[in-house]
Amino acid sequence: ISIIAGLTWYFKRHVSLEELIGHEQRLRQAIANRPWHAFLTGLGIYAIVSLIPGTSGKSVVCAWLFGFWQGVILILLGLTAAATVNFYLSRYIFRDWIEQRFARLLKNLNKHLAEEGAFYLLTLRMAHFPFSIINLVSGASRLHVRTFCWTTALGLLPGTVVFAWVGVRLPSLDRLASSGAASLLDPLLFAALAASAALPVVLRWAIRRITMPGHVKHIEQAPPKQQPQHHTIP
Summarize the confidence of residues 81-104 as an average pLDDT: 87
pLDDT over 80 (residue 55): no
In the predicted structure, residue 177 carries a pLDDT above the cut 80: no
**Is residue 19's pLDDT more than 90?**
no
Question: What pLDDT score was predicted for residue 15?
Answer: 60
Three-class secondary structure assignment of the chain:
CHHHHHHHHHHHHHCCHHHHHHHHHHHHHHHHHCHHHHHHHHHHHHHHHHCCCCCCCHHHHHHHHHCHHHHHHHHHHHHHHHHHHHHHHHHHCCHHHHHHHCHHHHHHHHHHHHHHCHHHHHHHHHCCCCHHHHHHHHHCCCCCHHHHHHHHHHHHHHHHHHHHHHHHHCCCHHHHHHHHHHHHCCHHHHHHHHHHHHHHHHHHHHHHHHCCCCCCCCCCCCCCCCCCCCCCCC
